[in-house]
Structure 1
């Protein structure tokens, strides 16, 4: 795989990983017939990725979703609430994650001037 990547992998690593993802999906769905030496029988081998560990910039490279700028939240995606403040992008809407009866949902002056009545984003 490293021989195939001729440009900066951060720009298009998701494109290079697409064949791997497709193959893993196929291995999970269909599996591959494999010989078990211990039992002397054939069985269907399936594969799954249990988890991956990476930092937030690497998450952007792998997922193809930008983790910078106004749409940087990979959970909220297009429903992110962001604005320009004090020379940087700020992400509002964090009160959506609080329980419905939490007192901070009703406070407007302490936050952005609005009460929060939206549902939490789907994870």
Structure 2
């Protein structure tokens, strides 16, 4: 399990990151975490799982009101957020579209319908 400090560092330095915020008492979180982690691995994106019970301050930092929450970051900016009900199909589509190199990102094309 990651720490808030290590995730902040990763978001600042790595191209793409998925932050999965859960709670040890959340059964849906336990079911969704492996699926999100597998999507991250398939798309070669860093995956970080944080537990809101162990670090309550992360709720304020990420402005998360419910779990599970999946936040996707590209070049340090949040580009997607899903909470409680995760749409795995749209999450997978987004992850496949994220640029993996350091060239300039055209955010309009990133979110346009194909």
What TM-score, normalized to structure 1? 0.25
Which structure's CA Rg is the greater one?
Answer: 1
By relative contact order (CA 8 Å, sep 6+), the higher-ranking structure is: 2
What TM-score, normalized to structure 2? 0.26
Whichever structure has more helix as a proportion of its residues is 2
Whichever structure has more strand as a proportion of its residues is 2
